[in-house]
């Protein structure tokens, strides 16, 4: 009980004007979905991808497909490198029997994030330096039967340019479900409370988004000091990190920092 009370007391140090969020609040997914539905989707720019690639609209935005509408899949380098030691030559055996690389013409030139590359299966297109494939069993435009194959291949969503934003160097912009939000360099979402609220004893203090002692305030970002460390605050509210669930930050009682939010 003493340990629990000590944790609660340390956490309450932020509550001078910067108390943390309550354990119950609107969920991240609901907030993101509402903003995504209200905001118009960025129209894809055909000049940003090769003629062998098109886009198709679906419920959460746009997805890359072939001119015939077949979904394009990307190899996840986080799986490919440890498994094969290479990304370009990852797709062998069962993968090669089910997926066909997106062929690139001999004279194909790089365009945007798309690059032609030579492989054992000929000259192919890559996206963000990872090879691109179609799934043999997909028959109709928009089919995604190959999603999650070997936990390494997934459909490629079109990602628009992020809106302009001001944030500390340790923050970066991520995109999911038609929404841009801020994350730390480890890919964890940045979250905060919309208004100061006290946390009950049942709350488990979330992990703070720490700021270096030499970090300078920028835009709406300032620093707060509590518990022997320095933490970033956004619009006077302390900022925490949260894991991503289904692509979006998820933590009880805290909201993601959405780009473009007022």
**118-151 residue pLDDT tens:** 988 899 999 988 899 999 999 999 999 999 998 8
Which of 6-10, 126-130, 190-194, 227-231 bottoms out in mean pLDDT, i.e. has the lowest? 6-10
Query: Of the spans 2-16, 35-49, 51-65, 67-81, which averages the highest pLDDT?
Result: 51-65
- Residue-wise over 165-203: b if at least 16 C-beta within 10 A, else e? eebbebbeebbbbbbbbbbbeeebbbbbbeebbebeeeb
- Residue-wise pLDDT tens digits, 175-186: 887 788 999 988
pLDDT at 86: 60
**pLDDT band at residue 71 under the 50/70/90 scheme:** very high
Q: What are the two backbone dihedrals, phi and then psi, of residue 46, each rounded to the nearest 5 degrees? A: -60, -20
The whole-number average pLDDT for the span 39-46 is 66
Residues 259 and 154: their CA atoms lie apart, in Å, by: 25
The full set of domain ranges for the chain reads 2-38+161-256, 47-155
What is the reported pTM? 0.57
Residue 78 confidence (pLDDT): 75
The pLDDT mean for the chain works out to: 80
Has residue 24 got a pLDDT over 90?
no
Whether the CB-CB separation of 211 and 218 falls below 8 Å is answered with no
Average pLDDT of the residues in 89-104 = 92
* Tens of pLDDT, residues 199-240: 555 566 789 999 998 999 999 999 998 778 899 999 999 999
Q: Is the pLDDT of residue 7 over 80?
A: no
Which position has the higher pLDDT, 196 or 107?
A: 107
Residue 16 has what pLDDT? 33
Residue 172 half-sphere exposure, CB side, CA atoms within 13 Å? 8
Instruction: Give residue 39's pLDDT.
Output: 39
Q: What's residue 21's pLDDT?
A: 38
Instruction: Give the SS3 label for residue 18.
Output: coil
Output the CA–CA distances (angstroms, integers) from residue 73 to 133, 134, 221, 244, in the order listed.
Answer: 5, 6, 38, 22
């Amino acid at each position: 009980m003493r340990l629990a009370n000590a944790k609660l007391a340390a956490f309450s140090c932020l509550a001078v004007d910067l108390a943390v969020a309550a354990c119950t609040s609107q969920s991240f997914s609901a907030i993101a979905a509402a903003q995504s539905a209200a905001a118009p989707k960025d129209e894809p720019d055909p000049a940003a991808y090769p003629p062998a690639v098109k886009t198709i609209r679906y419920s959460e935005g746009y997805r890359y497909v072939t001119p015939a509408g077949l979904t394009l899949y990307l190899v996840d380098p986080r799986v490919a490198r440890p498994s094969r030691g290479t990304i370009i030559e990852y797709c062998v055996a069962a993968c090669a029997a089910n997926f066909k690389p997106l062929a690139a013409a001999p004279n194909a030139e790089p365009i945007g994030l798309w690059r032609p590359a030579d492989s054992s299966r000929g000259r192919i297109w890559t996206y963000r330096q990872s090879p691109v494939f179609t799934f043999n069993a997909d028959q109709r435009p928009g089919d995604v039967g190959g999603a999650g194959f070997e936990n390494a291949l997934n459909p490629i969503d079109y990602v628009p340019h992020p809106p302009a934003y001001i944030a500390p160097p340790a923050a970066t912009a991520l995109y999911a479900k038609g929404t841009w939000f801020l994350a730390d360099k480890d890919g964890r979402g940045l979250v905060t409370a919309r208004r100061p609220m006290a946390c009950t004893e049942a709350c488990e203090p979330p992990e703070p988004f720490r700021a270096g002692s030499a970090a300078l305030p920028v835009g709406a970002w300032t620093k707060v000091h509590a518990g022997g460390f320095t933490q970033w605050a956004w619009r006077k509210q302390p900022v925490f990190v949260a894991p991503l669930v289904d692509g979006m930050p998820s933590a009880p009682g805290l909201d993601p920092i959405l780009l473009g939010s007022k």
